[in-house]
């Protein structure tokens, strides 16, 4: 059975762990967000791609959910000592010493003319991961958020300035995916969706992790055409996001923070929404939106629960 998983970072990487071993390597494709990508200190950084790789390689920091376990930070200490640029300390975004090796490799390869999908394939090969990992596009897409409050209300800042620089504590009035209109789906992306038996939308942030993938020309249309086989997992459990600002962003963007609001967000592209047992009372409201709803344990606190969730999703995708 061919499975495609549309991915943000941490939540998606954890769910992918459930599919690895269950779905043969040649049949498992992850399509990842690149809207969080940035150039910092001259380096091309792709956080969601790297989070997926490090997680599946069992090398990710368990505490942070990004970067490498047992990392050292000598390069950051070195750069921090040079001070600040425009009032911002140079170490505002933490790049571990070994993680820097990945960014150096990616930056050098891109500068030498390689495409992001080819560089990513080489990284996946180095870590011997049993899947195909495709950046949604080789073209730059940048998630930008509009600040809703404070001295710079109305200004647009990059996703990482919002997420890391401001610790996602500032209210947001709009989200935009700069470059998405002009971006072409990466090699193999549209074919993978067309050929998949089941297409999964991971429990990532709908507004800033999944929407930048859906914004790439052709993806939303392809998913709509395959809607019966598209299964999303709600990242909102009992009204809250497990990690990150998905709950607050939904409210700031005019929705409510609930599994039902996630169903509404995805109603055009998703046939089934998997929701957590604590949200079982929302099944009728979700189904009233024309989205089938399946209730199960969705907090991936053990390999057994993660595998059971993955199995439930595969069943749900072939109604």
3-class DSSP assignment, residue 174: strand
Q: How far is the CB of 30 from ligand FO1 (least distance, A)?
A: 14
240-241 vs 236-237, strand pairing mode: antiparallel
- Provide φ and ψ at 163, rounded to 5°: -75, -45
Residue 48 in the binding site for ligand FO1 (CB under 6 A)? yes
Structure tokens at 22: 């269950």
Binding ligand FO1 (rule: CB under 6 A), the pick from 3, 12, 28, 36 is 36
- Measured between its terminal Cα atoms, the distance across the chain in Å is 14
Q: How far apart are CA 302 and CA 109, in angstroms?
A: 37
Q: Is 235 in the site for ligand FO1 (CB under 6 A)?
A: no
| The one among 19, 93, 162, 265 contacting ligand FO1 by CB under 6 A | 93
Q: Does 94 bind ligand FO1 (CB under 6 A)?
A: yes
Give the pairing type, strands 88-89 and 84-85.
Answer: antiparallel
Strand order in the sheet with 142-147: 156-158, 142-147, 172-178
Q: Which of 5, 7, 9, 32 binds ligand FO1 (CB under 6 A)?
A: 9
Out of 5, 56, 66, 274, the residue judged to bind ligand FO1 by CB under 6 A:
66
Query: Using CB under 6 A, which of the segments 48-56, 216-224, 251-259, 282-290 binds ligand FO1?
Result: 48-56
For CA atoms 231, 232, 238, 239, the dihedral sign is negative
50 forms part of the interface with ligand FO1 (CB under 6 A): yes
> Would you say 66 and 94 are in contact if contact means Cβ atoms under 8 Å apart?
no
Q: Which residue has the tokens 């940048």?
A: 142
Binding mask 140-179 for ligand FO1 (x = CB under 6 A): --------------------x--xx---------------
Q: With contacts defined by CB under 6 A, name the span among 23-31, 92-100, 224-232, 280-288 that binds ligand FO1.
A: 92-100
Q: Under the rule (CB under 6 A), what is the footprint of ligand FO1? A: 8-10, 36, 47-48, 50-51, 66-67, 93-95, 99, 160, 163-164
């Amino acid at each position: 059975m061919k499975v495609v998983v549309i991915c943000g970072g941490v939540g998606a990487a954890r769910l992918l762990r459930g599919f690895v071993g269950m779905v043969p390597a040649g049949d498992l494709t992850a399509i990842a967000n690149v809207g969080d990508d940035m150039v910092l200190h001259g380096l091309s950084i792709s956080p969601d791609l790297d989070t997926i790789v490090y997680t599946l390689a069992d090398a990710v920091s368990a505490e942070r959910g990004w970067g490498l376990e047992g990392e050292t930070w000598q390069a950051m200490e070195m750069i921090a000592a040079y001070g600040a640029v425009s009032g911002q300390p140079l170490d505002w975004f933490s790049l571990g010493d070994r993680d820097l090796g990945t960014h150096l490799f990616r930056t050098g390869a891109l500068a030498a003319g390689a495409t992001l999908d080819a560089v990513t394939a080489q990284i996946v090969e180095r870590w011997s991961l049993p899947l195909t990992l495709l950046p949604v596009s080789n073209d730059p897409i940048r998630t930008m958020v509009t600040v809703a409050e404070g001295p710079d209300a109305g200004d647009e800042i990059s996703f990482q300035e919002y997420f890391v620089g401001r610790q996602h504590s500032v209210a947001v009035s709009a989200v935009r995916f700069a470059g998405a209109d002009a971006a072409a789906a990466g090699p193999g992306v549209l074919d993978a969706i067309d050929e998949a038996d089941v297409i999964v939308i991971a429990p990532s942030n709908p507004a800033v992790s999944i929407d930048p993938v859906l914004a790439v020309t052709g993806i939303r249309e392809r998913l709509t055409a395959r809607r019966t086989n598209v299964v999303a997992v709600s990242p909102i459990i009992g009204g809250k996001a497990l990690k990150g600002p998905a709950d607050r962003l939904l409210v700031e963007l005019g929705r409510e923070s609930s599994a039902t609001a996630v169903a509404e967000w995805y109603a055009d592209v998703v046939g089934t929404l998997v929701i957590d047992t604590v949200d079982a009372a929302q099944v009728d409201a979700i189904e009233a939106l024309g989205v089938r709803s399946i209730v199960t344990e969705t907090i991936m606190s053990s390999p057994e629960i993660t595998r059971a969730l993955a199995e439930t999703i595969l069943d749900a995708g072939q109604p």
